[in-house]
Amino acid sequence: MEVLSENLLMGWMQGYTLTGRQSVFVSYEAFMMIVASMIDQYLKFIFQKREIAWRKPIPSLNIILTSSSWRQEHNGISHQNPGFVSSLLNNNNKAVRIHYPCDANMLLATMEECLKSKDGVNVIVCGKRDLPQYLSIDDAKVQMEAGIGVWDGASKGSDEPDIVFAATGDYMTLESLSAVRLLEQMAPQIKTRFVSVSELTAVNIGELREPGKISFQTFNKYFTNDKHIIYSYHGYKEDIESLLFKNPRAEKVHIHCYKERGTTTTPFDMLVLNNASRYQLALEAVYYYTLEHPEFEEKQKTIFAYITTLLAKHEAYIIENGTDIPEINNFKLD
């Protein structure tokens, strides 16, 4: 069913689910904030329901957020708002699970898990565009179970990296992996590791009431004990900061995210404007590598000049042509 009223659709969904049937609500990411309070009240009901013995388990609410801030060729700034996830994180309820599948197999594994779950609210955030297929269905199910994973084949030097890249979100995964490829071409001596965080609620290791799936110690297993982490995140910076609250490693987590920049523009320009493009990720990785390897300073200057030139070309090209530069449109990970 479809009407242009999120309130009405959410009311239908909740009533339908309370009869014991499955439901999925697909919406533009920016407009789910309209019903954030309704979800908050529903979570209060779920919390109280657990205290009543005769209340039977019911299927979870399943919400898919798409048409995100990162694709604004047509709609512009009115359609940019990833705050629904922030609202749910602030609720801090163990019934909430927030997923960012980054390819089709991960989406299939995630949907299967969500449709099986009871007494919760599942949020799935993904775009509408075609994406590279990263994982087999079996690997996707393993990642789904943990909510996080090191992709060994994604980078060179993953066992003992100099820099760790991490990503949450389909667009951010592509940018992070592309930054890794750029570094392999420009600075092959920099060893990298890529960590995919597909379930955001899995990394809730701060002083909150409901911890996620990983502890401080487990965090270091994925992200190393001491290396800088270049974290690309789909939404607001404060989401990640709240999840890492008082984590001793948090000071070395450098978050690239949505920063309320951009309007009707090309897909890659949205990333550039929010300091979240592959070029900016690669530059930051080179910067932190050079801090610990001063002998790399001259090479850093060369890379900086090259990327600065590319970004200038990008800015001029989109104004004249309305599309992204060939270096982006023709780029392939393989």
Q: What DSSP line would sit under 64-77, residue for residue?
A: EEES-TT--SSS-G
Mean pLDDT value of segment 132-154? 94
Q: Is the pLDDT of residue 70 over 60?
A: yes
pLDDT at 216: 84
pLDDT at 129: 82
pLDDT at 91: 85
pLDDT at 230: 98
Q: Which two tokens stand for residue 286?
A: 């080179």
Residue 163: strand pairing partners = 192, 228
pLDDT at 257: 98
User: Which of 279, 293, 272 lies closest to 163, judged by CA?
Assistant: 293
pLDDT at 1: 78
Q: Is 250 helix (H, G, I), strand (E, B) or coil?
A: helix
Count CB-CB contacts under 10 A for residue 26.
13
pLDDT at 13: 96
pLDDT at 209: 52
Q: Tell me the C-alpha distance between 27 and 170, whole Å.
A: 17
Mean pLDDT of the chain: 94
Q: Tell me the C-alpha distance between 170 and 164, whole Å.
A: 18
H or E segment at 24? strand 24-28
Confidence band (pLDDT; 50, 70, 90) for 208?
low
Q: Which two tokens stand for residue 26?
A: 């697909």
Q: Is the pLDDT of residue 149 over 80?
A: yes
Q: Is 310 helix (H, G, I), strand (E, B) or coil?
A: helix
The answer to whether 31 and 6 are in contact (CB under 8 A) is yes
The answer to whether 192 and 164 are in contact (CB under 8 A) is yes
Alpha helices in 189-277 (DSSP H): 216-223, 237-243, 267-273
Mean pLDDT value of segment 139-161? 94
Mean pLDDT value of segment 1-5? 86
Q: What is this structure's pTM?
A: 0.95
Alpha helices in 188-296 (DSSP H): 216-223, 237-243, 267-273, 278-292
pLDDT at 304: 98
Domain spans of the chain, in order of start: 6-329
Q: Tell me the C-alpha distance between 291 and 284, whole Å.
A: 11
What architecture does CATH give domain 6-329? 3-Layer(aba) Sandwich (3.40)
pLDDT at 210: 59
Q: Tell me the C-alpha distance between 194 and 148, whole Å.
A: 11
Per-residue pLDDT tens over the stretch 21-64: 999 999 999 999 999 999 999 999 999 998 999 999 999 999 99
CA distances from 276 to 1, 167, 254, 279 (A): 36, 11, 11, 8
Q: Is the pLDDT of residue 17 over 90?
A: yes
Reduced DSSP (H G I as helix, E B as strand, rest coil) percent helix, strand, coil of the chain, to 5: 50, 15, 35
pLDDT at 205: 67
